[in-house]
Amino acid sequence: MRVNNEEYIEVDVLDVRAATQASEAFSLILVDRFHPSLYVPIIIGLNEARAILGEIHGRLPKRPLTHTLFADLFPAFIPDYHIEFVSIDSYGQGIYYASIVIQTPTGEFFEVDARPSDAVAIALHASVPLYFKKVLFEEHKQVAQRFSDYGIGLLSETGHPAAPSRTPHAATEWETMSLSELKDLLQAAIDDENYELAAKIQEEIDRRHQE
């Protein structure tokens, strides 16, 4: 699929798993629909993980959550507008950015900026496709040989926590910072509940401890 002359691939939500890089953080596993051994993990927070798992397993609370309220507004109160799909479009400073694409009664489309975790939860609830910019997916994809390979913070074959991989973005942005500065940046990200950024900073801290 092409959006604004950019090619996208369709992805599915495989699972949500605990991540070791940050407290109360989870790894959202998105796989290429047609090549499910290829995946991208995205770090999300506890509440967002619960919302997505609730959609996956059909165990939502009786009172509406934020993503269900948003998705249900369209068919219930503004039926001439439709959520067409959600997409993950860009990445910067350890953060993925997503959009919710809505079609108007005239056939035009507009995009609503969203966090990937919220966008994915809305896509699941509204039963609409989830797309990932192809060049971005190719840049961040990982390969799974077996089911236990998916995710972040899983055990290696030796039974010890697998060493986190160093991303080129982290290497570029944080290699000149001291360990103390990185820890301050990590705490600021956690205080701001920016778990995606916190996980990437923790990767760089862990890598330096292993050197």
Q: Does 97 map to a domain?
A: no
Amino acid 154: pLDDT: 35
The chain-wide mean pLDDT, for the chain, equals 79
Host domain of residue 181: 164-210
Amino acid 181: pLDDT: 77
- C-beta neighbour count of 16 within 10 angstroms: 23
Amino acid making up residue 67: H
Q: Which of 119-128, 133-142, 148-157, 173-182 has the lowest mean pLDDT?
A: 148-157
Q: Does 55 map to a domain?
A: no
Please, what sign has the CA dihedral across residues 97, 4, 12, 63?
A: positive
| 83, pLDDT greater than 60 | yes
Q: For strands 95-103 and 6-18, give the pairing.
A: unpaired
Q: Which two tokens stand for residue 157?
A: 């074959």
Q: Does 2 map to a domain?
A: no
Amino acid 147: pLDDT: 57
pLDDT digits (tens, 9 = 90+) for 29-47: 999 999 988 999 998 888 8
pLDDT digits (tens, 9 = 90+) for 153-169: 332 233 333 333 334 44
> How much is the average pLDDT of 90-107?
91
Alpha carbon separation from 45 to 3, 25, 68, 199 (Å, rounded): 28, 5, 17, 11
Amino acid 170: pLDDT: 42
Q: For strands 109-114 and 25-32, give the pairing.
A: unpaired
Q: Does 68 map to a domain?
A: no
Q: Does 129 map to a domain?
A: no
Q: Which residue has the higher pLDDT, 86 or 210?
A: 86
Q: Which residue has the higher pLDDT, 168 or 128?
A: 128
> How much is the average pLDDT of 176-191?
75
Contacts of 38 (CB under 8 A, 6+ apart): 31, 32, 137, 141, 142, 143, 144
| Total number of domains constituting the chain | 1
CB 27 within 8 A of CB 35: no
> How much is the average pLDDT of 193-203?
68
| 111, pLDDT greater than 90 | yes
Amino acid 58: pLDDT: 83
Q: Which residues pair with 130 in a beta bridge?
A: 86
